[in-house]
Structure 1
């Protein structure tokens, strides 16, 4: 059995939904859930601020920020993550990815999702699958609203 320390040093797949340029909303939710479970959600909300470079906790903040940056970059497709390698903090990567890939104002994406919801028919699906498919579309629409 591996110790938790060795587990922390191994690469962690934070989501199976890697950012591919078209799935920002879902990807960002998976990242937020993962970071919250690792007590690093403050990096997303801005609650975890960079201390002064002379502060006693500066080195641990840099270590934690780099760890979160690594998780974030590893959750992106290689052709996307290379665009963020020169950013120096997790927050700068997060904001740049949001600005670049967020489709909250993407009318065509919203139109596509609404079209899917309105045209979905149960046809050969059992009730449970139909419900979950429709619910998934509605959740994606909600996520667009929240962003």
Structure 2
């Protein structure tokens, strides 16, 4: 009976659509979440679009650090790893080929997101400074 109870509780976690580890039937690594690929000069609008798409899919925590990587021995690690891989794929599918080459080896979605932010969010800094002057 205990085995049945633990089995049903773990399956309810997997089926809980409010869980950040839940993936919809239509979610796939080949999905494209935003219509415009990141080309570099459109980082701000691309970033906003991706954040909205990831919020809608309840996966924003994979890029903002709210869902940190558990240790591999943790029982939640396989679910985290599966979702992290999905988010990595979605991000890669939303950037141009040249940019993809620079971030494809990131291990986590957060690392990839932070690298893209580092590469492209500062691009308009000098221009904003000039406009403010």
TM-score by length of 1: 0.67
- Equivalent residues in 2 for 1:1-147, closer than 5 Å: 5=25, 7-9=26-28, 11-103=30-122, 106-108=125-127
Distance 1:10 1:90 in 2: 13
Aligned to 1:143: none
Structure 1 segments of 4+ aligned residues over 6 angstroms from their partners: none
Distance 1:63 1:18 in 2: 24
Q: Distance in 1 between matches of 2:127 and 2:69?
A: 37
Q: Which residue is 1:125 aligned to?
A: none
CA contact (8 A) 2:28 2:86 kept: no
Deviation at 1:12, TM superposition (A): 1.6
| 1:57–1:9 distance in 2 versus 1, CA, 3 Å | same
Cα deviation code 1:83-142 (max 9, x no counterpart) = 111111101100110000113752225757x8xxxxxxxxxxxxxxxxxxxxxxxxxxxx
**Separation (CA, whole Å) in 2 of partners of 1:27 and 1:105:** 14
The RMSD of aligned alpha carbons is 2.0
* Unaligned segments of structure 2, at least 5 residues: 1-23
Contact 2:62 2:110 in 1 (8 A): yes
Gaps of 5+ in 1: 115-147
